[in-house]
Amino acid sequence: MKVVIAGSSGLIGTALVAAARRTGHEVSRLVRRAPAAPDEFAWDPARAQLDERALRGADAVVNLCGAGIAARRWTGDYKQLLRDSRITPTDVLSTAVAAAGVPTLINASGAHYYGLDTGDAVVDETTPAGTGFLATLCRDWEAATAPATAAGTRTVLVRSAVVLARNGGMLSMLRPLYWLGLGGRLGSGRQYTPWISLDDEVAAIMFALTHPEVSGPVNAVGPAPVTNAEFNRALGRAVHRPAPLVVPGFALRALVGELADEGILHGPRAIPAALEKAGFTFAHPTIGAALAAAVGSRAS
């Protein structure tokens, strides 16, 4: 299979390129600089420019583009960047996919599609979009795939949870705090923290690529949802450090602003119904197993 990947230099993209090549797929990468290798093709989504050779003969396109949700405090400009870095590239790619007749588009999205109001309710891919900035962002991000879908392309919308990885992602920020004995729950701890291991995130994308019956929204989340309190207790066990602290909501809001309510103090109790129905098997089905894989400890 010939696979073209946008966003190949990020945490997920880097691992996906390696996994796809390891299993025998031909991988090309879209880059926003001058190509420096035979497998690279230039594109400039802000100008709607894409090397016409990039999608020639492609069996699938994977779009992982997007500025980091928690990379900076959410100013008005950064919130606009979060939208522009997702919606514009998706529109450009889906239009190009439609024109080139590429059979499959795998497009990133997020588990926060379900919004701020889900509470303890279990949500799956049939649950409608919720309210809030992230929910609206995910809804509009997914809507930008419409040109490909209208052209008959099989479109998969991968609604990812927090990805747990040895290097990078949220754990790279949390582990130093735990090593200093500063770990603990955030806010009430009753909110859910959707999670997935990096191995399972990549495997889920590969599964979607190679299983034509998978289409539409797919929750890339671990099959055993946990609250934030449970997540932090499990992380404490994984790194062999206590997690005694409580960071109150007001302190989080003062520290990170709007992101506190949107991405930390609220979270969906999402389950991977579509993946499980299609027969996907998780390598790390529990938070303990996922954290052990990420930090190099034994699962507990």
SS (H, E, C) the chain: CEEEEECCCCHHHHHHHHHHHHCCCEEEEEECCCCCCCCEEEEEHHHCEECCCCCCCCCEEEECCCCCCCCCCCCHHHHHHHHHHHHHHHHHHHHHHHHHCCCEEEEEEEHHHHCCCCCCCEECCCCCCCCCHHHHHHHHHHHCCHHHHHCCCEEEEEEECEEECCCCCHHHHHHHHHHCCCCEEECCCCCECCEEEHHHHHHHHHHHHHCCCCCEEEEECCCCCCEHHHHHHHHHHHHCCCCCEEECHHHHHHHHCCHHHHHHCCCCEECCHHHHHHCCCCCCCCHHHHHHHHHCCCCC
For position 169, what pLDDT does the model report? 87
For position 81, what pLDDT does the model report? 98
pLDDT in tens, 62-99: 999 999 999 999 999 999 999 999 999 999 999 999 99
For position 167, what pLDDT does the model report? 87
Pick the CATH number of 2-295 from 3.40.190.10, 3.40.30.10, 2.60.260.20, 3.40.50.720: 3.40.50.720
Of 298 and 119, the one with more pLDDT: 119
Mean pLDDT of the region 266-271: 96
pLDDT in tens, 21-39: 999 999 999 999 999 999 9
Of 56-60, 140-144, 248-252, 282-286, least confident by mean pLDDT is: 248-252
For position 179, what pLDDT does the model report? 84
Q: Supply the mean pLDDT for the chain.
A: 95
Mean pLDDT of the region 197-223: 98
